[in-house]
Amino acid sequence: MSLVLKKGNEVVGEAAIRSGCRCYFGYPITPQSELPEYLARRLPQVGGVFVQAESEIAAINMVYGAASTGVRVMTSSSSPGISLKQEGISYIAASQLPCVIVNIMRGGPGLGGIQASQSDYFQATKGGGHGDYRLIVLAPSSVQEIADLVKEGFQLADTYRNPVMILGDGILGQMMEPVDLGSGDVGELPDKPWAARGKKGRRSRNVINSLYLDSEKLEQLNLSLQKKYRLIAERETRAETYLTEDAQIVVAAYGMTARICKEAVDMVRKKGIRAGLFRPITLWPYPEKELRLAAQHSQAVLTVEMSAGQMVEDVRLSLNGEVPVEFYGRLGSMVPSAGEVFEEIQRISKKIGEVK
């Protein structure tokens, strides 16, 4: 294992190359611009294509085109830029094309700010574009996990012919941590008989399309998409738990916030409060069963986010009223401190004591 010290954004780029990604289309925006900058230099070295498009909308449609040919392709942006890409993302999902889309979130709404945030959870997991579609959404919480999840993301995208989103925040994108990038030997990429890259001796040509004017056919497409989404939901949930076995209070958080909460959990444990951490790694599909298991002996779940409360809705849906759910969040790129989360856990612990 050899470690290098690298920025999260650059690691997205390097991990993509080591996953066989050879096409990138994007438009710069803080706090993820180190990623296109890195790929502008690196992709030509490995025979790849880097295009800085004229806009985010152009970039996502270039992804649509490249993905149609079966190559591994990626785009990235930050919150306002991801909003611009939504139409294309819906088309790609409908056309069942694999690709990886990276959102290094910044504060919103509107043009917002350039610092970290987690307020695009709804957009990522509930469909920011139109129609009944889903993205597979992966949420790394360290630079090492960025490398691992980008690789996994490309595999999942190919396996299910579905767009995958890597959802990080501005801190994660800009921070440096030691990372093991692995060998870069992806082996043989999966066969893609559906790709539009010439007839190759077949009688009919492959068509990539998202337009179905016949309602019955459109319903059939939707039914097959829903079947695929159910399969993904059954098979592909991922989560990390920390000290949840005996936890009275389970803190649920993802990404950078989860690491802050882990520190808070250690702090309250020293005070004798039995707290634990539940960290979803897949935000869609949401690891509902894993959360129910982690919270089965708990008396309260505290969700912490850098938003006004978005993931907390999935926490409530997963627990379905079995455990009371509390929320703590900071807005507009303010980052909750471990001390604040510590206070919240203490407050809830006191409340539980009084109910008894």
Partner 1 sequence: MLIKILMAGFGGQGIMSMGQLLAYSGMLEKKAVAWIPSYGPEMRGGTANCSVTISTSPINSPVVTEPDILVAMNRPSLDKFEDALKSGGKLFINSSLINRSVKRQDIETYYVPANELAGLLSESKVLNMIMMGALLQVAPLVSPMSVMESLRMMLPESKHHLLSLNSRALQMGAAVFKNQTAKENSIVAG
Binding site for partner 1 (CB under 8 A): 3, 5, 30, 114-115, 171, 174-178, 256, 259-260, 262-263, 266, 335, 337-339
Q: Output the six-digit token pair for 314.
A: 């999935």
Cα gap 212→219, rounded to integer Å? 9
Tallying the residues shown for the chain, one arrives at: 356
Minimum CB separation of residue 334 from partner 1 in Å reads 11
Shortest separation between residue 198's beta carbon and partner 1, angstroms: 44
What burial class does residue 203 get, using C-beta atoms within 10 Å of its C-beta: 0-12 exposed, 13-18 middle, 19+ buried? Answer: exposed
CB of 178 to partner 1, least distance (A): 5
* Minimum CB distance to partner 1 smaller for 71 or for 179: 179
Is 229 or 254 the residue whose CB approaches partner 1 more closely? Answer: 254
CB of 211 to partner 1, least distance (A): 41
Question: Residue 238 burial by CB count (10 A; 0-12/13-18/19+): exposed, middle or buried?
Answer: middle
Nearer to partner 1, 22 or 262 (CB): 262
Which lies closer to partner 1 via its Cβ, residue 239 or residue 341? 341
Q: Please, what is the Cα angle at 303 between 274 and 283, to 5 degrees?
A: 120
- Smallest gap from residue 338 Cβ to partner 1 (A): 6
CA distances from 122 to 6, 79, 184, 333 (A): 29, 12, 33, 17
Query: Which residue lies nearer to partner 1 by CB, 12 or 89?
Result: 12
The distance of closest approach from Cβ of residue 1 to partner 1 in the complex, given in angstroms and rounded to an integer, is 12
Q: In the bound complex, what is the minimum distance in angstroms from residue 138's beta carbon to partner 1?
A: 20
| Cβ 103 to partner 1 shortest distance, Å | 19
* Shortest reach from residue 172's CB to partner 1, in Å: 9
CA distance 176 to 76: 19
Rounded-to-integer distance, Cα 51 and Cα 94, Å: 24
Q: Toward partner 1, which CB reaches closer, 73 or 264?
A: 264
User: Smaller CB distance to partner 1: residue 335 or 352?
Assistant: 335
Kindly tell me which of 42 and 259 has the beta carbon lying closer to partner 1.
Answer: 259
Q: In the complex with partner 1, which residue's Cβ is closer, 280 or 285?
A: 280
Name 260's Cβ contacts closer than 8 Å, sequence gap at least 6: 253, 304, 335, 336, 337, 338, 341
